[in-house]
Amino acid sequence: MLFAMIAKDAPGALQTRLDTRPAHLDHLNSLGKKLVFAGALLNAEEQPEGSIVVFEAVDLAEAEALAAADPFVPAGVFSSYEVKRWRIAVNTTGVEL
């Protein structure tokens, strides 16, 4: 099953995000094939203001654990995040998901 983590950055968290980014990327890379895709949500100035991470998990509990393990969470980068079951409706990438 696929799950999406949708996160909003805390006000003023850009420097914390930048400082924590190497650990965040290490975490994402450690997920291996569980990670489908990940990236920052950008504001009008092209600065990060949140994140979307889509991963495969057996259930919501595992998906929530994967999200909570992201170093951005304990570092305080996110003011909030939620994990939701996600279903692909259209896929034009040519990649089988």
Residue 91 predicted with pLDDT over 90: no
pLDDT at res. 51: 97
**pLDDT above 70: residue 97:** no
Residue 95 has pLDDT above 80, yes or no: no
pLDDT, tens only, 5-64: 999 999 999 999 999 999 999 999 999 999 999 999 999 999 999 999 999 999 999 999
Sheet holding 48-56, edge to edge: 35-42, 48-56, 2-9, 78-86
Whole-structure pTM value: 0.89
At 88, the pLDDT band (50, 70, 90 cuts) reads confident
Give the architecture (CATH level 2) of 2-86: 2-Layer Sandwich (3.30)
